[in-house]
Amino acid sequence: MKSNVRVIRILQYLVNNSRTTIREIENDLGISEEVIRYELENLNDYLDILKLNKIQKNSNGSINVNIENVDKVIESVMAIYKMSGEERREYLAFKFINEKKINITHEMNNLSVARNTIKSDLKCIVEEFKAYGIEVKNWQIVGGYESSFRNYLFNKYMNHHLILFEESSEPLLISEVSKAISETFEGHNINKITNFVKKSIYETNNYQLYDTFLLYIIIMVERILQGYTLEETEEFEKYCGVYSKEISRNLNEIKKEFKIEINDVEFSKLVEVLTGLNNNGFNTLYEENIVRANLFVTNLIEHVGVNMGINFKEDEILLEGLFEHTKATMYRLKHGFKNQFETYYLAIEQHVNLYNIVKEGLRELEKMMCATLSKEEIALYVVHFLGAQRRIEETQTTIKRVVLICNSGYGTSILLRNILEANYYIEVVESISLYQLNNFNFDNIDVAISTLDLDYEFKKTMRVSVLYISPFLNFEDAKTLKKYGIERKRNSTLPSVSKILEVVHESAVVINKEKLQNDLKDLLSNKFVVTTQSASLFDEISENDIYIVDKEISWEAMLEIGGRHLINKGVVEESYVEEVFQSINSYGPHFILKNKIAIPHAGIDSGVNNSGITIVYSKEDVVFGNGLSVRLLIFIASPDKPRLLSTVMKTKELTEDAELYTIIQNASKKEIKNYLLK
């Protein structure tokens, strides 16, 4: 077992709360029930090794903890802690910003990882820096305004800085970043900063933005203590706002406590930020451009509506939401603050057409503000229109409330949930595992959808209809859903009318453009989602990508064979394979499917350079940590998500192949390749 931040947080919670429930842990720590149960099993296994009392889990969800030697457990768990890839990159970026350079050899030894892993991490970090105008050469920062460094710290390290003010008991594990920040402020009275912020926010009468201004001041003081200050450049001009006198008076306590000087540029920027955070100041920027801004929102609604073939003009919620959101967007663009919305890829991947239409419509705002909107900002506008679409759909279609039942409640259930909610008029109330069935309340649930063929004894206790479908939703499953009245959504990924018209104009003379546009709208409004399968990674497999193992090996060795092949081909970096191992430590081998097949893979941003696949076939069962056996391991990586999905679908077919191992038992690499390609 290797411990991680999540295990340590749960352990600390249990130390402080010897009698609790899984629900309380979920609510207080923000960790899902499935993951909590998994980590509790890991902790119990470890307690068993230490010959100590296990954590007692009761059928009603309550937990009793009676660990007689808490210090021994804490010491042992901390001893096997290892940074995740995300934590490592977070630490390296923070050190890079503060020291302006990175010594790869030192960090390789310090973090106990390979040189290529550090290099792969730094490549990701350098790409992030570029978005902030920070230039790097030979692993040294050679360009970038001080304001750029502060914006990066502001957007990336909020929680690490605000932990300085937490009054809860000291955590068992403090990240390296939090330690460094604490050391910077060691010996100083941090309350002087909170007093200053409270007085300043009182003047603005806007307490909702307390944390934002507090974070700005912390980073300002931190950077000045480290010898970095804002300088007079073309970016700044002297700013005198209504709060100048109050800030000047209150700021003396900070200057005295931290023994720092605050130059005119620092002071002007401070006044500007506080003025902007005030509700009146916040609205001033918007009101200065109110006519153009209102026209922009109106044009955006019309632009999206025309291209989607939907009338959004009567949706007052959408109109008001876009007005308020545009105020916030304009403020962020002006001050260089990044939005913390990190799931923009969902809007891009699941709603490509809408995303592109909205992106085109936002060019007017970009011209107005002389700035470029990030993917995150564009995605937030997409969310407003998705909400409007759903409101229209809900007035026309009954939404079924569904509970999704999977083997573990994790892994493939996430993919299935996304597919179902994206394509059908349903609301997945919760995804649960088999062992949660007895305690789940099925009141207000219309139907249960299960990837497991449940026994009759289970079904009769549930009081709702139970539909059995595969984890990958095939055509037979679509028929089953339709039979039970679960309607499919209209296609939201078809090309827009304007795009079709562009193609038509390039190849033909249009006599009546308006009629053609209206006819296309009518035609497309009746279309439904059509799923097409892209080429899979199997299509490019060669004999060199296949390994046949005829002796007993460990599951770690099996994974290493598959991952090392992709590394040697340049398909992935070391960090990609490391993320797979880290995922097993965190969640268990959740990628094991039926028919003794495993399909390990990590995220696209974990070091994927190209597309590739490794087949590892073992003639003997390879037993993983959860007792499940694997004989065919399919290690995949690709930046092309449709190709990844097609590969998963092809793998799913293999899980249903009863003759698979009979056919490939004594087959050559060529014969295995041909069988997989059939």
Q: What percent of the chain has pLDDT over 90?
A: 18
Q: Is the pLDDT of residue 264 over 80?
A: yes
Does residue 410 sit in helix, strand or coil?
coil
Indicate the pLDDT class of residue 206, thresholds 50, 70 and 90.
low
Does residue 38 sit in helix, strand or coil?
helix
Q: Give every CB contact of residue 311 below 8 A, 6+ residues apart in sequence.
A: 305
- Indicate the fold that domain 397-483 takes in CATH: Rossmann fold (3.40.50)
Q: Which CATH number fits domain 85-144: 1.10.3470, 1.10.238, 2.60.120, 1.10.10?
A: 1.10.10
- Counted residue by residue, the chain has a size of 678
> Average pLDDT of the chain?
78
Q: Is the pLDDT of residue 504 over 70?
A: no
What does the pLDDT read at residue 555? 92
Stretch 37-64: mean pLDDT, rounded? Answer: 79
What does the pLDDT read at residue 326? 82
pLDDT digit string, tens, across residues 547-579? 999 888 999 999 999 999 999 999 999 988 988
- Residue 594 DSSP symbol: S
What does the pLDDT read at residue 209? 66
Q: Has domain 537-677 been given CATH number 3.40.930.10?
A: yes
Q: Which of 44-53, 59-68, 390-399, 656-665 has the lowest mean pLDDT?
A: 390-399
How far is Cα of residue 449 from the mean position of the Cα atoms in its chain? 26
Stretch 305-323: mean pLDDT, rounded? Answer: 85
Indicate the pLDDT class of residue 475, thresholds 50, 70 and 90.
low
Q: Is the dihedral of CA 190, 191, 192, 195 positive or negative?
A: positive
Closest-CA residue to 612 (of 632, 635, 579): 635
Q: Which of 104-108, 283-287, 293-297 has the lowest mean pLDDT?
A: 283-287
Q: Would 5-79 and 85-144 be classified into the same CATH topology?
A: yes
CA–CA separation, 585 and 76 (whole Å): 16
DSSP string covering 304-365: HHHHHT---TT-HHHHHHHHHHHHHHHHHHHHTPPP----HHHHHHH-HHHHHHHHHHTHHH
What does the pLDDT read at residue 526? 39
Angstrom distances, CA of residue 230 to CA of 125, 210, 222, 252: 23, 23, 13, 19
Q: Is the pLDDT of residue 104 over 90?
A: yes
What does the pLDDT read at residue 32? 75
Residues 644 and 638 sit within 8 Å (Cβ to Cβ): yes
**Architecture of domain 5-79 in this structure:** Orthogonal Bundle (1.10)
Q: Is the pLDDT of residue 668 over 70?
A: yes
The domains of the chain are located at 5-79, 85-144, 145-268, 285-386, 397-483, 537-677
Indicate the pLDDT class of residue 358, thresholds 50, 70 and 90.
very high
Stretch 160-169: mean pLDDT, rounded? Answer: 67
End-to-end C-alpha distance for the chain, whole angstroms: 40
pLDDT digit string, tens, across residues 318-355? 888 888 788 777 766 766 665 554 444 454 566 888 88
DSSP string covering 623-646: E-TTS-EEEEEEEEE-S-HHHHHH
| Residue whose token pair is 């940590």 | 625
Q: Which of 84-93, 125-134, 264-273 has the lowest mean pLDDT?
A: 264-273
Q: What percent of the chain has pLDDT over 70?
A: 77
CA–CA separation, 393 and 399 (whole Å): 9
pLDDT digit string, tens, across residues 380-414? 888 889 888 877 776 666 778 898 887 544 445 66
What does the pLDDT read at residue 531? 38
What does the pLDDT read at residue 567? 94
Residues 564 and 577 sit within 8 Å (Cβ to Cβ): yes
Stretch 307-324: mean pLDDT, rounded? Answer: 84
Q: Which CATH number fits domain 285-386: 3.40.50.720, 3.80.10.10, 1.10.1790.10, 3.40.1000.10?
A: 1.10.1790.10
Q: Give every CB contact of residue 370 below 8 A, 6+ residues apart in sequence.
A: none
Indicate the pLDDT class of residue 277, thresholds 50, 70 and 90.
low
Q: Give every CB contact of residue 350 below 8 A, 6+ residues apart in sequence.
A: 418, 422
